[in-house]
Amino acid sequence: MKKETQQIKYVLYARKSSEAEDQQVASIDSQVQELEKLANEHSIKIVKRFTEAKSAKAPGRSEFAKMVEMIESGEANGIICWKLDRLARNPMDGGKICWLLQLGTIQNIKTFSRDYYPTDNVMMISVEFGMANQFIRDLSDNVKRGIRKKLAMGWCPGVAKPGYLNDKYADQGEKKIINDPKGFHLIQKMFRCIASGEYTPAEALSKLNNEWGYRSPKRKRSGGKPMSRTTFYNIIADSFYYGEFEFPKGSGNWHKGKHQVMISREEYELIQYKMGNRLKRGMGRPHYGKSSSKAFYGIFRCHDCNSAITPDEKIQTICSKCKTKFSSKHKTACPKCHTEINKMKNPTHLNYVYYGCADRKKKNCNQISIESKKLDEQIIKTLKGLKISESLKNWYIENINEANDIETIDRNHIKNNLEAQCKNCEKKLDNLLKLKISPQNTDGLILNDDVFSKQQKKIREELNNFKNQIEKQDKRAEEWMDLSVKTFNFACYAKYHFENGTYEDKKAILQGLGSNLLLKDGKLLISLPPHLEIIKNANNDFREINGKFEPRILRSDKTKTGVLTPACSSLHGMRESNPR
């Protein structure tokens, strides 16, 4: 080492980026520790230390700028750093260092591998900075190419979203998004509870964290915590969960994901409708409030303006002293005689819940409010029209298997036909590829690239359509039987559970009646789903023939079911465009 360097005032510079380029570079603490050891070995005086965690691929590093300013002011004239690429990876910052070294403003740059002096060949230093710059450019191209490949395969780049995990054991370039065994089904259950209306969003989040025990995946420095409100609302508005994602965000470039979806698109759109997100039909935003044990939120809508029907709880007290009736929801004493409520002797407490249009004043809606008892009477009347006896319910379910056998024959015939069409499409693709790469087509006269791409795309679309139809057939097999059993259970027990059940029971039953629950002139208008409409019409016909349809000798199980599951509420679609 030259003796002149012992008189140089050095600044120590250590940098660590969060970019992939620095995965093999020592941490800032390690760099500082090693550089100080190097300085002691060569009796180097360090006047100041600069450290920062920022990429050097573009100008704009604050600590780097302070270091250059200190050198230009003459307070320091040497730099000690891990490697030259720690100082710069872009032409502007690299050129600045080269120019200061060439002028002699920087007397020495010391790294672990070598020293740089003003008298050295500037071209060699420029080459090193150029290599560092080219490395970051190549790395950027490689990352972009990897992202494009991942998108083409149907995988969303980046850290997996809640409910999913990145497959860390797969080979580079083959990493997939897999289900989180702990969180996937919990978040899926949360989605469906919101879609069915069983819980408001706030209730669903509370259930997820406090009762179902959800915790985010544990990572090195994060995770293992309940889901935050911000994450929750981001999740329920994210199309990724039904199988489509936009990348980059805001680019308008949409991709079909290959990951296992949590919900269907119909369920997603129903949730957006309930939340007031991305509304396309001019619907008012539902107003979810704090749930009361006697009130239902986000279930009914106004017939005229389509706004949410919200409950208004009236709590009144009749003063035992002056007999004044007053609203005691936000009061602690009688407004007339000022007697405190908790000191009254046997005061009369009145509690009413009225349902009315949430935007009545804003939209000049003339719809009247309705008291909860009258609303319950109308609901019970509807459920009474659906009710079937327990013996008839059992008879229906026992005979479903016979109908299911016929359904299975039809379904298998359709499925076999679809599978044959898939094989035919795959054969077409193979033949098309053979023709494209055949020796007779080397110049593209038989099949050029443009025609090949168009035909291949057309056949692939046809193949995907057949595969989707097969999936629907498989799903239909499960849903058909499930819907049948749930429908008959619903018809048999819904009235009983609505009259005697808990708030959750009643809410589930209302969701089972369908999504078109409208209030008009104090009357509840219900558009029953098709499977319940059939039972209602059948009951009307049976009454006309004095109930002779029902078999006389039936074995009946008198045991009541538990909490009622609504008749396949997860299959309910969006509200119809003309609910009137």
Q: According to the model, what pLDDT value does residue 76 have? A: 92
* pTM score, whole prediction: 0.42
Residues 331/285, Cβ–Cβ less than 8 Å? no
- In angstroms, the first-to-last Cα distance of the chain is 91
Q: Show the domains of the chain with their CATH numbers.
A: 3-148 (3.40.50.1390), 164-275 (3.90.1750.20), 301-382 (no CATH), 390-571 (no CATH)
Supply φ then ψ for residue 51, to 5 degrees. -135, 145
Residues near 458 by beta carbon (within 8 Å), at least 6 away in sequence:
none
Helix or strand run (H / E) with residue 270: helix 265-275
Neighbour count for residue 430 (Cβ, 10 Å): 10
Helix or strand run (H / E) with residue 406: helix 390-437
Residues 54/25, Cβ–Cβ less than 8 Å? no
Type of residue found at 565: T
Residue 50 pairs in a beta bridge with 13
How far is residue 310's CA from residue 480's CA, in Å, rounded to a whole number? 35
Q: Going residue by residue through the chain (580 aa), what tens digit of pLDDT does each one get?
A: 444 555 789 999 998 876 444 444 457 888 888 888 888 888 888 999 999 988 888 888 889 999 999 999 999 999 999 888 888 888 888 888 888 988 889 999 888 878 888 888 666 777 777 676 666 666 666 667 777 777 778 888 888 899 999 887 776 666 788 899 888 999 998 888 887 777 788 888 988 988 888 998 887 777 888 999 999 989 988 889 998 888 877 777 888 888 899 988 878 887 887 676 543 333 333 444 344 445 676 678 888 887 778 788 788 888 888 888 888 877 888 888 888 888 888 888 888 888 888 777 666 788 888 888 888 888 888 888 888 888 877 777 776 666 666 666 667 777 787 888 888 899 988 888 888 888 888 777 788 888 888 888 889 888 888 888 877 766 665 665 666 677 778 888 888 888 888 777 787 788 778 767 888 888 888 888 777 877 888 777 666 555 444 454 444 444 444 434 444 443 344 344 444 4
Neighbour count for residue 25 (Cβ, 10 Å): 16
Residues 52/15, Cβ–Cβ less than 8 Å? yes
Q: According to the model, what pLDDT value does residue 132 have? A: 65
Residues 325/273, Cβ–Cβ less than 8 Å? no
Q: Distance of CA 216 to CAs 179, 184, 221, 226, Å?
A: 13, 11, 12, 6
Handedness of CA 156, 159, 163, 167 (dihedral sign): positive
